[in-house]
Structure formats: structure tokens, C-alpha cells
Structure 1
């Protein structure tokens, strides 16, 4: 198990906050998230069977994803802390808006947001893979992304285009 953890830490992943709306909204930092299909539009997230979010996603049948930018490391740490408040209170210190399709909290300032309806839940070891049909997707500003690599958060800056590296601006 420790060898697998060490090996997987060499793989850089994006950082998201997965949220659920409803009577008792909940959120959690997650890096096990990816695109599955463009047609139909499907994504997946993996959630531990013991996580509060697992029960919430199963009960509500939907989830939202906020893809964090490099400046949102504090937000990622906040939602990774199991001692944070529960329910609506956990969202009090943050800027967020309810998703137009699910009501799930969307974190203001994120790079992108998705709202999804659970299409399938697959138990895989100690986690469930929630496959979500994308109901709504929106990209924000082009800014550096927050990554998780080697057990630490890291920022990712956009590499300059070849012409930019030479001090020239590409004509569009």
C-alpha cells in the first residue's frame, strides 16, 4: 500500500472541490476526477465509502465540481480538513453561488465549474466511482491551475507559446 501511494504521488493531478446541494450541502477536496466521454458528456469522481460526501452524493443523485486555480490552495486545504464545520456552515467563510441546475455550491474564482447528475455508481475497493452526466459546464478565466504532486500542492503556470518566448506576439 505504501509503495502504491508513493508511486501514485509521482502523477500530478488537478485539484477540485466536489460539492452537493440539498438540505445539507457538503463539500470535499478531491483530485480523483476526470473526463470520461464527450458524447454523451460524462465525468467521474472517486469518493471514499467512509466520506460524508459519499452518502450525500448517493442520496442527492447529483454533484458539482469546482476546478481550483493556484491561488485557491487555502480553499483546497479547508475542504480537506475533516474538522471543518458541517452542512451550510462549512460554506460561510467562502464566496460561492448555487449551481443553476443542482443548487450545489460552486466556488467563486475557480477555473471551471460543472454540475452533474449521477448516471452510475460503481463500488471499487474502498471507494465508489460516481459517473456523472454533465448538465452544465462553464470555464472561467485562463489562470494557473492548482496541482497536487509528490504529496504537496503546487501551482501550474501556462507555458508561453513559441512566439511569446521570443518576445513576439502571435497574431490571432
Structure 2
């Protein structure tokens, strides 16, 4: 089996695991960058920490190395177009990429948060580790909160965006 065949098989198997979709942003020298991710998870409650993975050649990874800060916005199902836009490597690599998108600054870091998302995590990088063709970034969450938690989440499964047609109410989820 060639390396290319092995990578394709691994991608196919990994694609069976449904994940949430988020956008990670950072800002350095007042230049914002962002990218769509599905490699996001919480790591710790005390202190509150999250983990993301980014390709080594990612412009955002270079920016995070320089700034030491990032924000993650968990996307809602009605944000598929935004997810696609920030997954497209052909988008502008400057503030122009955010034209027409409702964003605001995260309170602790000033990174951009997508205002119509489900929740956000405003973070300071604690550890960056090179693993295979990606970097694993573990960050301490300085501020966080819900934005629109009643909206349905955007999911990624079998290489395409999906969503849940109904979500439990906050009362029934408790």
C-alpha cells in the first residue's frame, strides 16, 4: 500500500466520526486570520483548556506562533457558507476575508469571534507540539461563553457538512 493509499484510507475511516465545526482566529500586528476546523476539543475544566490541530503549512499556525493567542467559535448549522469560505485557501489572507461577516473582538485577546456562532473560547497558547503533518495547539481559555446556544450545531461527517434538525432545550439537557 502506498503512502497516498494509506492516507486516503485513513481519511475515509476518520470521516466516519462526526465532529463539530468551528473557526479558529488569531490576530497579530492588527491583522486577523481565520480558518475552519473540525479538530477541536476541550482538554481540561481546571484550568479550562482546549486543543486544536493545524497543518504545518497553515498561515494561521504561523500567526498563532507569533501572537500566542487564538479564539475558537463553534459554528451553527446556518453558518455552512462561512465554514466553506474560511476553509477555502483562495480567500484573502487579511481583514478582507471578514467582509460581510458579523464578528466582534474576544474580551481577553482581541481575536475575532463570529457573532452568530453557538459559543466562543478566547485563548492563550500554553503548548504547541509538532505531530506528524500537523501541530497540536493546547490553549488555556481566558474567557468563553455561549452566543446562540439554542441554534442547531454544524457538523462534519463523511467529508460534508451536516446538521441536527432539532436540538434539546436547555431545560431538558440538564
Structure 1 residues 67 and 125: CA distance shift in structure 2, 3 A: same
Contact 2:28–2:66, Cα closer than 8 Å, also in 1: no
Structure 1 residues 89 and 37: CA distance shift in structure 2, 3 A: same
1:90, CA displacement in angstroms?
1.0
Q: Which residue of 2 aligns with 1:63?
A: 70
Q: Which residue of 2 aligns with 1:132?
A: 139
Distance of 2:68 and 2:96 partners within structure 1: 22
1:154, CA displacement in angstroms?
0.4
Which of 147, 150, 153 is residue 158 of structure 2 equivalent to? 150
- Aligned pair count? 164
Query: Deviations for 1:62-86, whole angstroms, at most 9, x for unmatched residues?
Result: 1000100000000000000111111
RMSD: 1.7
SS at 2:113 equivalent: strand
1:92, CA displacement in angstroms?
1.6
Structure 1 residues 160 and 61: CA distance shift in structure 2, 3 A: closer
Q: Which residue of 1 aligns with 2:23?
A: 17
Max radius of gyration: which structure?
Answer: 1
Q: TM-score, normalised by structure 2?
A: 0.90
1:138, CA displacement in angstroms?
0.6
Distance of 1:126 and 1:33 partners within structure 2: 16
Contact 1:22–1:103, Cα closer than 8 Å, also in 2: no
Distance of 1:157 and 1:11 partners within structure 2: 18
Distance of 2:100 and 2:168 partners within structure 1: 35
Q: TM-score, normalised by structure 1?
A: 0.91
Distance of 2:165 and 2:118 partners within structure 1: 13
Identify unmatched segments of 5+ residues in structure 1. 162-168
Q: Which residue of 2 aligns with 1:83?
A: 90
Identify unmatched segments of 5+ residues in structure 2. 1-6
Structure 1 residues 160 and 33: CA distance shift in structure 2, 3 A: closer
Runs of 4+ displaced beyond 6 Å? none
Query: Deviations for 1:89-148, whole angstroms, at most 9, x for unmatched residues?
Result: 111221101111111110011000110000000110111100000000111221110000
SS at 1:20 equivalent: strand
